[in-house]
Structure formats: C-alpha cells, structure tokens
Structure 1
C-alpha cells in the first residue's frame, strides 16, 4: 500500500537519475494526453454518427474560437507549473502555498469574466469567420454551453498544471481517464439516448470537466504535508501575480498567435461549406495524436527544470 501511495505523491525530481525521473513523469502524462485527444475524437465520432455531417462541421467551426477565448488559461497553467515546481524544488513551503493560492484566485476571476463576456461575443465572432448559416445556431449553442461552463475546463487545466509542477503526473492521468470514460458515456446518453444533438455533446464535456476538476481539487486539498491551502494564501499578492504572468505570458502569447492562425484557417475553410469543414475536423483529430510525444516531453522538461532551478542544481538541468 505504501508503494501505491508513493505513486500518487509529489515526485522530487532533484534527486535520482535524470533520465529515469523524466521518463517516470512522462509516461503517465503521455497516456493522459492521448486520453484527452481521444476525448475530443469521441465527441466527433458520436456527433457525426448520430446527428450528421453538419453537426460535426458545427463542432469543428466552434473549436478555434473556443480555444482562442480560453488561451489565457494556457499561460496561467504554464506559469503555475513552473512557479510551483521551483518552490517545491527549493522546499519553500510558504511561497509554494502562496503561489498555488494566487493561481486559484486568478483562475476564478478569469473564468467568471469569460462566463460573462463569452456569450456576448460568440455570434459576432462566428459571423466574422464566415460560419455557414446552416450551422451557425449549432455552433453558437455549442460555444455558449462550453463558455458558461468553463470553470471545469479552467480549473482542471490549472490544478493538473499544479500537480505536474509537484511532480505528480499520475494523479492527473487517473482523473483524466475517469473524465474521458464519463464523457464517452454522457455523449452517447445525451446524443443517442436523449436526442440532444450538438448541445448534448457540449453538456457532456462540461460535466466531465467539472468532475475531473473536483477530483484534482480534492487531491490538492489533502496534500497538507506539502503546502497550505486556505483563504489567507489565496489573497492575491503583487509579487506572485507578477511572477506568474512573467513565467506564463511567453507561452500564452505563443498560444495566442497559434490560436489566431487557427481562427484564420477556419475562416478560410468555412468558405468551402459544411462538408469540407467536417473533413477538416476529422483530419485535425488524427493529427492531434501525432503531436502528443513532443508536447509531453516539453512539459516533463518544464517540471524537471523548474524543480532543479529551485533547488539550485543547474548541473542536473543540463544533464536533463
């Protein structure tokens, strides 16, 4: 039992063989990333099979806008992972606690803003990227549900980023697998069973994301031996907010540029009609699997580097 508990505990990457630590961390995360891509692929399969090509095209047209509106969370998640890994490596309990607290507070503020602003800008943005009128309503419904329910997505990304910063990629994997299985069953139930169509897929996604975020929160709440989590540490402090943004904004700006490119490509794709849009969705789902190894080892090295920089073991960073 002790060995099993160790697997789901924060992992100190400042000791041991670097290649072993990186590999041990990467494998669960790679499986998790594949599961997350499967998550999106199942949405497409269910909606295409039970509703039709136009519904699949609607989901595909909506995703670039959804990713663009939520790109800030990529910056916060990346910054959180780096900051948490550095303080964990330095064994600084107070700063680790406050950095985690400020991440949670910023996420709440931003998620609320998106919940308010998102529904206002959805239809103008869909019209701007030449969304065909035949799928415009489906696209809008899909986005509205995802944006109003964005707390699950937002907190899962932030909390799993914190877990990774602590060296615990296995817990995030288990929670993601639970979420993926739940999403598959809810997709089939809402779409095939209740005939809810595109909104059913969105609702299934939101529920699954909320469950995974709650599981991550429970896991972090029980890590009393590593850091404190209370209202005091969640008060925003200029020092930690500035550091979080400094670490996360470069990644966030990169994602903004990438998201704008995808929005532009989607705008051009939409001109050719629903069938081409649906084909593009299928291709992008398959392409997503090919990117998983690069993405996984990039995050693994971020955590490894962060912990060893925090511990001032720069020779391990070079070796890693």
Structure 2
C-alpha cells in the first residue's frame, strides 16, 4: 500500500522544492555543527559503558561475567536496528537532498514501522530462547553467572523495541543535519542510566536486575522523547505527523531494506568474526586475554572522532547525491576522509605517548602489560593508514546505494584475511596473540584498497537509491 499524504502540505514546505543543490550547503561551519555533537555522543557511548561495568562490578565477579556475556550477544542482535537506521538515514537524506519533502516524511514513518516490527520479533525470540542461546554460545557456565546473565538478558530484551525506535529517530534527526538534539538526549539519558544504576544497584541492592532496569528505563525515555519531538513536528522533512495512522509504502520500505539488510549482514559477520578470533587469546592464557581486553578498550577511545565523521558522511553524501550534486559528494567525502585520517593519526600518537600510563590504570601483570603494549603499537602504526578507508569510506558508498558491494568485500576479507589469517599468524607463524592483531590490520588494509578503488572508479554513481515514483 502507498502512504497517503495531505492534499495540501504546509505552506512553508511545499511537497517538492527545486532540485539541483543540497538542502544544506556543507561548508566548514555546517560540518562543524553536525560533527561536534556526534563526537560527544561517541564519547558518551564509550565512557558510560565503562561506568556501567565498574558499577556492576561491586556486586561481584558473577555479575560482571553475566553482564559481559549478555552484552556480547546483544551486540549481535541489536545490529539489525543500527543497520535499519543506516538504511533509513540514506533514503531520507536522498529525499531531503532532492527536496522531496512529502517522500522524506513517508520514508521517515516507514523506517519507524519496520524498525519497531523487527525489534518486537527479535524481543519475542530472545525472551523465549534466552537460556538455550546462552548454553549454545557459552556451554556450561557457573550457576551464579548463568543466573545473572538470564536476568540481564531478560531485561535487555525488553528494551530492544525502545532501542530500535531511538536509533531510527536519531538517524532521522541526523539526516536533516540536526545532531545537536540527539546529543542532548544522549546526555540526559546517560545521566538517567548512571543515576538509575546508583539507586537500584547500591541503594536498593538489586544487583544485575538494577543495572538491567536502569538500561530499560533510559532507553524507553530516549525513544519516547525523540519520537514525540518528531510527531509534533509539522514542518520539517522528517516529521512523523500521522505516525499512528499506519499505512505502508512497499517501494520506500524496499529502498530502506536495500541498504539496511546488506549493512546488517556485514555487521553481523563482523561481530561473529570478532568472537571467533577472540577465542584464540584464551589458548594463550589469562595474560593474553587481559592484554587484548585492555588494548581494545584503549583503542576504542582513539576512534571516537573518526566514528563521528563516518556517521556524518551518511547524511552529507546522501543529501548531495539526492540533489544530483555528485561534485559536492566527492568534495565533501575527500574533506571528511582527511579529517578522519588526521584524527586517527593524532590519537594514535597520543596513545603511544601515554601508552604505559593508560595500561597501568588496569593493574595488569607484567606479562600482560608487555603484550598489551605490543598490541597497541601494532594498532598505532597501522590504523592511521588503513582504518579510515576500511570503516569511514564505506559509508559514502552506502549513501550511494552501494551497500551490497561493501557487504561482499567485508565478508570475503573478514573470513579469508582476518579469521583465517589470525589462526595462521598466531599458530603457524608462532606470533601468538600479536598474530590476531596483525591479521586484523591486514583485513583493514585489504578492505581499504577495494573501497578506495570502488570510489575512485565511480561505479557507485550508477546506483539508484530512491524508490521510483
């Protein structure tokens, strides 16, 4: 069915404005307004996650282990929400760039419908099979850890629909170039999460259940607030006015899924590959496992601005291509890639300078400290060269509707270079834990080569993102 729109749209926003130029002129000032709130969001997402782990650790090791193993599964399950949000962001950005206001509103509503429907299905599946899933992935584990994991998994599953709605609504704001509102909501919600953890874990002694309830409530607040803001918006191209009069638009949904499904498959395989390679560290002992965990935590800090640039690329390139302005899409992609390379290089240099101090905060054994230092050096040398082309540039290709190519390259590289290469380097070449990280950066290099070649050849310009009208 096709979504019906009002016969007479608001006077200040006609149904279709003259195309030819992006809805926003992406000069340095506009880029700054979009990007700095995204950087703050990235910082919050990492620091709050660390704070959650620290707070629940007061309950005991069984609580930390239970939350940890559930979060690993959660990452695989909620990838679908982020992928759908990516698909929606690309389609809505194209419609905004093309000045097709009513279509961008239609796409905004369709994104909310399919995100909610898919998240409810995943929630029901998880609630029904959470215990078998834990046994299937982790086998027999300590009874106390299993009890904590089941409680946290149950509450996490209840939050999936809220998380899906939040991700979709946030992506719509970003598609319109408004990342400030999502940053402000993220600040409020994270304060609620921390306050809820403190009250429920320490005040009421609810342990893991307290952490799960705090997460559920904070995600619900985020989803409800952002949705209400969009529903009461009567003017912009991302308005959800009429959201509750549900009517589906098949062509628009297919446009969203055309980007969202390949992105979801790619991300899911990436997470699965990480799980498979992480098992290698267990074979080299506790020191290797601890070193890998610490090095990964420190690494995540160095990619905060770079991740923000990648998210911004979806909006900027999408709007430019929607307006038919390929030259602006190319120019802004080059600019954002320069920013990304520069930020990764700066943070890598800082990591090298502060490496021993940072590792020292985790109270590792001397053996683990040495391994962590080796892993970080591998990362710091290679990431400025290979990471931006491997993780940021693909967003420009996805904005051009080239998501299937990104999925294919990522899948082949993950299994042939990263997974197979990890076992070969670690065991056959005898490089130990460092072998996994050598394979990881090799995977980044391979992806970067293919993505850069795809972009420079211009094959992405032939894709059709928007549904035919």
- The residue aligned with 2:107 is 99
The equivalent residue for 1:117 is 125
1:239 aligns with 2:248: no
SS of the aligned residue for 1:174 comes to helix
SS at match of 1:38: helix
Question: Closer, same or farther in 2 for the Cα pair 1:197/1:275, shift >3 Å?
Answer: farther
The answer to which structure, 1 or 2, has the higher relative contact order (CA under 8 A, 6+ apart) is: 1
Per mean C-alpha deviation after superposition, the further-off stretch among 152-161 and 121-130 is 121-130
2:37 is the counterpart of 1:28: yes
Paired residues of 2:86 and 2:260 also in contact (CA < 8 A): yes
* RMSD between superposed Cα atoms in Å: 2.6
Q: What is residue 302 of structure 2 aligned with on the other side?
A: 290
CA distance 1:253–1:189, change in 2 (3 Å): same
Task: Name the CA shift for 1:119/1:46 in 2 (closer, same or farther; >3 Å).
Answer: same
Q: Which residue of 2 aligns with 1:68?
A: 76
Q: CA 1:302–1:168 in 2, change beyond 3 Å: closer, same or farther?
A: same
- Structure 2: segments with no counterpart, 5+ residues: 1-20, 333-469
Given candidates 56, 62, 66, the residue that maps to 2:64 is 56
User: Do 2:82 and 2:164's aligned partners in 1 also have CA atoms closer than 8 Å?
Assistant: no
Aligned residue runs from structure 1 range 1-320, under 5 A: 14-48=23-57, 50-130=58-138, 132-134=141-143, 135-227=145-237, 228=239, 229-231=241-243, 234-265=246-277, 284-320=296-332
Q: Please give the alpha-carbon distance, in whole angstroms, between the structure 1 residues aligned to 2:22 and 2:305.
A: 20
Please give the alpha-carbon distance, in whole angstroms, between the structure 1 residues aligned to 2:56 and 2:92. 39
Q: Contact 1:64 / 1:266 at 8 angstroms: preserved in 2? A: no
Bigger radius of gyration: 2
Shift of the alpha carbon at 1:319?
A: 1.1
Aligned length: 308
Write the distance in 2 (CA, Å) between the matches of 1:20 and 1:151. Answer: 35
Per-residue CA distance 1:147-195 (angstroms, 9 max, x = gap) = 0221221111111011111111000000000001110110111111111
Secondary structure of 2:102 counterpart? helix
